[in-house]
Amino acid sequence: MSAGAGLAARGGYRRWLLIFASAAVLFGSMHHADHVIRGNHSGWPFQAEVTPFTFSLLIYALILPGIYLTARGRSIAGYHLFVAFVGLALLGFVHFVPVGDYEAPIEDIYGVYESPLAGTLALAILAGLVGSVAALAIVALGAVRAGSRAKKGG
């Protein structure tokens, strides 16, 4: 029995999907709060204009139902994989692709704070968010692959 099959047999994928999806919600909430505290790259409902920040709040409408259904015992690893890829694409494009008015981590996050400690904490929150969403993608991919192998009988 492979390590992946053993993990699936013990229900480990479900537990790790819940852990990493919940961590993504926690870090995402802190990162969105950081936007509001910094006052840059924010938007409605905290400022008058609708911005990419506003649309990024919709990620919670995707990830929270997945957490709920997984906690209730539904096997929806493919859904978590989809949400993780959407999240990674959004995070990567908005924070690391230098086009238009992107949010540069050093200039727009760290550099806004007068305190190096506050700036470092804000960057650590972003790193935690990216890391938890990447981990969710990895675990979800493993769960999808294990489920596919189980259906094939080996």
**What is residue 10's predicted lDDT score, i.e. its pLDDT?**
46
> How far apart are the C-alpha atoms of 7 and 121, rounded to whole Å?
34
Burial class (CB in 10 A: 0-12, 13-18, 19+), 145: middle
What is the pLDDT, as a whole number, of residue 1?
A: 42
Give the pLDDT confidence score for residue 39 in this predicted structure. Answer: 81
> Per-block average pLDDT, block size 10, for the chain (154 residues)?
48 92 98 90 83 90 97 94 96 84 79 92 96 98 89 70
pLDDT of residue 11: 61
CA distance 142 to 7: 10
How far is CA 10 from its chain centroid?
Answer: 25
Q: 69 near 77, Cβ under 8 Å?
A: no
Rounded CA-CA distance 122/64 in Å is 23
Q: What does the pLDDT read at residue 108?
A: 80
CB-side neighbour CA atoms (13 Å) of 75: 13
- Look up the pTM and report it: 0.87
pLDDT of residue 154: 55
What is the end-to-end Cα distance of the chain in Å, rounded?
9
Per-residue DSSP letter, 17: H
In the chain, the amino acid numbered 126 is L
